[in-house]
Amino acid sequence: MLDRRTLLAQTAGFAVAGLCLGKASAKVLPGIEKASMRGSINAAELGVQPGALDDQSKAFAKLLNDASERDAPVFLPQGTYVVSNLKLPARLRLSGVPGATRIVYGGNGHLMMAEQAEHIELSGLVLDGSNRWLADYTQGLLDLRRVAHLVVDNCQVTGSGKNGLALQHVSGRVERSDISGAADAGIYSVEAGGLEISGNTVSDCANGGILVHRWQQAEDGTIVSGNRVERIGARSGGTGQNGNGINAFRAGNVVISGNIVSDCAFSAIRANSSSNLQVTGNTCSRSGETALYSEFSFEGVIIGNNIIDGAANGISIVNFNEGGRMGVCSNNIVRNLSTVGPYPADAPGFGVGISVEADTTVSANVVENAPLYGMQIGWGPYLRNVVATGNIIRKAGTGIAVSVVEGAGTAIISDNVIDGALNGAIIGQRWAEPATGDLAQSTSTGHGHLAVERNHVS
């Protein structure tokens, strides 16, 4: 029988042998690239070397084309690769070491373009435009057109002389990436078909954050969710074309949800002529103009469960004169608005919490510190079928301003709490001018299109 001392002595050798074997195995594993273990082509083995002083565009292009013909992924080791004017092949899977594999634009045209591609996947790459000039024919540092399936994952795109990512007729997803320092927009998508933009950080772009556009009004279906968008300028000026964190234009069936958007020159989220739109669960801070805007010829928008803190106006669902109609505005917090915006305001001015015009319900919102109106219902004759009920308005200039111009349609204002409205709780207006006393204090509005009842004023 083995005693304890003998057993320990005999098994010690196995432990040492195992330790040595472990060390030997450890020496082998680092020499096996992770990408090679997945069957990738290692770029260094085909003559594309990180840190080379000369431009490697020709060798890089050959590498990508060879990989496409073999339908094999390409792995780029860490380091810097200076390239220009790459035309991406029909099938490409290009990956690197996140934060350490840098593809730097060398100038004189474009960095990467694709046309009529089947599958393009970029992951773990830093794509640096170095703020260099981009040719007129390209829309962005990455210019990808008619890509059936796109994946951009865990990349950094920085210093583009135009848009960071310019996508046209693209399906797929852009996710977990950082896009910064673009001279135009961070991500510009036009005519998408089933695109998802999620979990990205888009910052310090001169004209826009995430743009979802179409040439004509149509279903788009892009999902924009869980992104951080911050410090977006309006270098090219205008009164809303630029300077928006997230912008949908003519794009229907778009979902914008769960984003954190701050410090945009104009709107945190702006939708122009975009129908069947959902804007839910977003946090919008320090917007220069209207924080959440649905404007012009849209039909159908839900704006709910958002937080707005700091803006010239809070939420606008307007332009019935252009066909803008049908909305739900509920469960939002709107606070700390200003009468100062990025341009001289048209009447009635900035400082409005929520504005609506046609076929819209406004319920269960909280508005605080709206210096002009807590809520504006209708504009001149552009008012039809609005119900405003169960809202709380605190510390406003006027609590609720409602149009009493000839031709204005039905509005029901009931069961709201209005606290601390300096110029009256509910006031009928002719355009920007007060035209009635406080309707919350009277038994009859004197206007057949209005029902004002059971509101509590303090």
Pick the CATH number of 28-173 from 2.160.20.10, 3.40.190.10, 3.40.50.300, 2.60.40.650: 2.160.20.10
User: What pLDDT sits at residue 93?
Assistant: 98
Tens-of-pLDDT digits for all 458 residues of the chain?
444 444 344 444 433 333 333 333 333 333 334 444 457 888 888 889 999 878 899 999 999 999 999 999 999 999 999 999 999 999 999 999 999 999 999 999 999 999 999 999 999 999 999 999 999 999 999 999 999 999 999 999 999 999 999 999 999 999 999 999 999 999 999 999 999 999 999 999 999 999 999 999 999 999 999 999 999 999 999 999 999 999 999 999 999 999 999 999 999 999 999 999 999 999 999 999 999 999 999 999 999 999 999 999 999 999 999 999 999 999 999 999 999 999 999 999 999 999 999 999 999 999 999 999 999 999 999 999 999 999 999 999 999 999 999 999 999 999 999 999 999 999 999 999 999 999 999 888 899 999 999 999 99
HEC letters along the chain? CCCHHHHHHHHHHHHHHHHHHHHHHHHHHHHCCHHHHCCCEEHHHHCCCCCCCCCCHHHHHHHHHHHHHHCCCEEECCEEEEECCEECCCEEEEEECCCCEEEEECCCECCEEEEEEEEEEEECCEEECCCCCECCCCCEEEEEEEEEEEEEECCEEECCCCEEEEEEEEEEEEECCEEECCCCEEEEEECCCCEEEECCEEEEECCEEEEEEEEEEEECCCEEECCEEEEECCCCCCCCCCCEEEEEEEEECCEEECCEEEEECCCCEEEECCCCEEEECCEEECCCCEEEEEECCCEEEEEECCEEEEECEEEEECCHHHCCEEEEEECCEEEEECCCCCCCCCCCCCCEEEEECEEEEEECCEEEEEEEEEEEECECCECEEEEEECCEEEEEEEEEEEECCCCCCCEEEECCEEECCCCCCEEEEECCEEEEEEHHHCCCCCCCCEEEECCEEC
pLDDT at 100 (0 to 100): 98
**pLDDT at residue 22, rounded to an integer:** 38
- Residue 47 is predicted with a pLDDT of 84
Q: What's the pLDDT at 38?
A: 58
- Residue spans per domain, the chain: 28-173, 312-458
Model confidence, pTM: 0.92
